[in-house]
Amino acid sequence: MPLRQPYPPIEPHEQGMLDVGDGQRIYWEVSGNPTGKPVVFLHGGPGGGTVPAHRQFFDPEAYRIVLFDQRGCGRSVPHVADGADLSANTTEYLLADIETLRRRLGIGRWQVFGGSWGSTLALAYAQRHPHRITELVLRGIFLLRRSEIDWYYNGGAGQLFPELWERFLEPLTGAPEDEHPVDTYHRLLHSPDPDVALRAAVAWSTWEGATSALLPAPERVAETSDPRFALAFARIENHYFRNRGFLEEGQLLRDAGRLRTVPGVIVQGRYDVVCPATSAWELHKAWPGSDFVVVDDAGHAANEPGITHHLLEATDRFR
C-alpha cells in the first residue's frame, strides 16, 4: 500500500492575537471546515512554533483546524529572541492558554494532536481536562523524565552521533565537569554577551535539528540555525528542561489512568533518538484506550514518510 501524502496546502480563514494576560499575546488561526470537527495542534519544542504544513495533517473538509504559537515563540509576542521574560512561561500557563483559546473559539470538546513536547503538553492538558478531549493523536512521546533529559543532553544520544555531540559540547569548554550540560547552557543562553548567547542557541538548536530524522535532513539543520528561531527555541526549551517541565517526576505516566475514557493513537519512530520508543511503550501500557504504532524506518520527525502516513491514518480514522 502506498504511503499517504499530506493534504494539500490551505490558508486560514480566521486568525488573531489572543491576550492571555501577563503581557502575553498568542497567535492563533483556524483553517479547514468552519463547522467541522475541532482539532487543536500543539507544536513541539517547547519554543518551536507552528508552520503552514501543520494544517496538512487533517482533512480540511472534515476538520476545523486550530493552530497556535505558544508563549514567546513563532508569531506570539513578546518574542523570546527579543528578550521576553520567561517567568510567565510555564506548563501551567500554557495549559491555561489552551483553555482560554478553546473558550474564545466556542469549542466544547476537541481532538488534541501533538508530537514531542507537543505530546507532553497534550498529555498534561488531557489529564487535567479529560472531558474536553474527543481523542489524542500523539507522536514521538516525551514524558519529560530525568532519564529522558539525561539521555539526550548528557551523553546517551551522543554515542550515536559522536561528531554532532562534539559540536554540541563546543560552547561548554571550560564548564565545571560536574555541571549538567542543561545547566551550563542556561548560563550561556542568558549571557550578557549576545555573541555568546547566539553561539549557544545555534549549537543547542542544531543538535536537535541534526538528530531528529533517521536520514540526514540538511534543510532542517538550516532552519534550526536561523538566529531568531534558535534564540527562542533554545532559551524556551532549556528553561522547561532545566525545570523538568514544571511537572513532578513521572507525573504523566503516573496519571495516565485519567485518560481511561479517552481514545488515542501513539505513533512512534523505531529509531527516534530524541524521544526513544521506551517512553511511548510505557505510556501505551498505562493508557488502555491507546493504539500503539511503531514505524520501523523512522526517527523523530513528523515529516518522515512513515510517521506522516500513520498520523494521517489516525486523523482520518477520527474525523
Catalytic (active-site) positions: 116, 272, 300
Listing from the earlier edge strand, what are the strands of the sheet with 290-295? 14-21, 24-32, 63-68, 37-42, 110-115, 133-139, 264-269, 290-295
Grid cell for residue 36: 467541522
CB 84 within 8 A of CB 69: no
CB 303 within 8 A of CB 310: no
DSSP character string of 175-232: --TTS-HHHHHHHHHT-SSHHHHHHHHHHHHHHHHHHSSSS--HHHHHHHT-HHHHHH
- The Cα–Cα gap between 209 and 174 comes to 25
